[in-house]
Structure 1
Amino acid sequence: MVTLRPAAPGTSVVACNTCRHSAEAREDGAGARGGARLAAALRALQASDPAYAAVSVEEMPCLFACGDFCTVHLRAPGKVGYVLGRFAPGDDAARAILDYAARYAASETGQVPFNEWPAGVKGHFLTRTPPEGFVVA
């Protein structure tokens, strides 16, 4: 049974805290899941840098992107959403994700021009989801 809990309003990065560490390993050498490590890095960076004040970090078990690893869902009301994955869990990935999320938060529809994408998110987009009540034209 799924239990829903309220999340912060506005733009958020939802990290899968049960994701595999990598394509080859479920956990790292210390027994930690990659998703849990990535979620912790995202939370720490978001809390330490006012540049990310417009983006909340949430986490939940399993985004059902199990063919990939270290996945996040970027979402905001009325904006196109994205699922990104295949990150190495840590500070570099967290910074790239939050840098992109800050640009996403500032955008009107969720589309960030490619020339503004941080290098660390390129090649990590898995899906694009339309906002409720809309499809992309």
Structure 2
Amino acid sequence: MTTWITICDTCKRDGWDSATQPETDGEILAGLIEAAAEGAQDVQTRRVSCLMGCKNACNVAIQADGKLNYTLGSFDPAQEDAEGIVAYAGLHAQSETGQVPYREWPQAIKGHFVTRHPPLPKPE
């Protein structure tokens, strides 16, 4: 089953300045995540304008139908963080429930979890 990485491309971390940085921090992170996810099995990416987690910029959501879903934030727009996000999404895709044991989490995502959402109920 496909796990989606939804990336906020409007995130701006403290100190962001449009005069010196033409792309938002979210746009930079999105590009790095998209590149890291190229060829990843069962992982797709998409960009959205605002996940409403500005206090925790840069934000992503890890989502799949019928599984636990997560919002993660406070990332640096850096290669290591992008690779950790994609690696975690791959583990999420392999998990039947979306729950990944802590011992398997990539170091780059530890301490970045903001919320966990249960799967939506199945229609009766």
Residue 86 of structure 1 pairs with residue 74 of structure 2: yes
Q: Which runs of 4+ in 1 moved over 4 A?
A: none
TM-score by length of 2: 0.91
Alpha-carbon separation, structure 1, partners of 2:116 and 2:72:
9
- The answer to whether the Cα contact below 8 Å between 1:23 and 1:68 also exists between their aligned partners in 2 is no
Alpha-carbon separation, structure 1, partners of 2:102 and 2:19:
32
Which of 9, 25, 30 lines up with 2:16 in the alignment? 25
Q: CA deviation at 1:23?
A: 3.0
Alpha-carbon separation, structure 2, partners of 1:63 and 1:55:
19
Identity of aligned residues (%): 37
Q: CA deviation at 1:91?
A: 1.2
> Residue 97 of structure 1 corresponds to which residue in structure 2?
85
Q: List alignment gaps of at least 5 residues for structure 2.
A: none
> Residue 8 of structure 2 corresponds to which residue in structure 1?
16
1:39 match: secondary structure: helix
User: Which deviates more from structure 2 when the two are superposed, residues 30-39 or residues 111-120?
Assistant: 30-39
Letter in 1 for 2:35: A
> Residue 108 of structure 1 corresponds to which residue in structure 2?
96
Alpha-carbon separation, structure 2, partners of 1:99 and 1:34:
20
TM-score by length of 1: 0.83
Q: CA deviation at 1:46?
A: 1.2
Q: How many residues align?
A: 122
CA-based RMSD of the aligned residues comes to: 1.7
Q: CA deviation at 1:90?
A: 2.1
Letter in 2 for 1:10: T
> Residue 44 of structure 1 corresponds to which residue in structure 2?
35
1:67 match: secondary structure: helix
> Residue 63 of structure 1 corresponds to which residue in structure 2?
51
Deviations 1:52-95 (A, max 9, x none): 22100111000011111010000000001000010001211110
Distance 1:130 1:44, change over 3 A: same
- The answer to whether the Cα contact below 8 Å between 1:55 and 1:102 also exists between their aligned partners in 2 is yes
